[in-house]
Amino acid sequence: MNSSQQKFFKLANHPFKFRMYLLFKLPAAFFSGIKVKEINEKRCVTSVPYKWLTQNPFRSTYFASLAMAAEMSTGAIALSNVYERKPQVSMLVTKMEATYFKKASGTIFFTCEQGKEIELMIDEAVETGEGKSIVAKSTGKNKSGEIVAEFLFTWSFKSKTTKIKVS
């Protein structure tokens, strides 16, 4: 783990600082109550509560709120690997797939355990200068440990190296 990644983990694990980051950079996640419960170089766990701002008419959590929490569990790991990185790396979700298994009531916890794979893909994108993609899986479970939903996010990474034009 490098020092930039350590700084990112410290920020993401600090309840107040990360909530302020969400407020200014991801206000929908802030107002939905999405939280990072755990993050390290191997995995990230996020949560989304069932509340007025995340509900649907069927007394369960709206699918878009679930998707935000799931995406954050994969994206936070990626962010930890591009945070303060030189050269900078752009990251973008290019595809999302979701499968729902059970009604999402109560707090749902999403876990992505592909930290090392994501890190290797970002390193490869920087080394080759080419865009690289990875499919990251996030599994959502309720407090009883039952799987509620699984999301697959295809993340694309590309090094922002500046090319000098020779005329």
In the prediction, which pLDDT does 156 show? Answer: 96
Which tens digits make up the pLDDT trace of 3-56? Answer: 888 888 988 888 889 899 899 999 999 999 999 999 999 999 999 999 999 999
Which tens digits make up the pLDDT trace of 97-145? Answer: 999 999 999 999 999 999 999 999 999 999 998 999 999 999 999 999 9
Pick from 26, 164, 159: nearest CA to 85? 159
In the chain, what is the greatest distance between 2 CA atoms, to the nearest angstrom?
64
CATH numbers and ranges of domains, the chain = 3-159 (3.10.129.10)
141-145 long-range Cβ contacts below 8 angstroms, 24+ apart: 141/108, 141/109, 141/111, 142/102, 142/104, 142/105, 142/106, 142/107, 142/108, 142/109, 143/106, 143/107, 143/109
* DSSP 3-state percent helix, strand, coil across the chain (nearest 5): 40, 30, 30
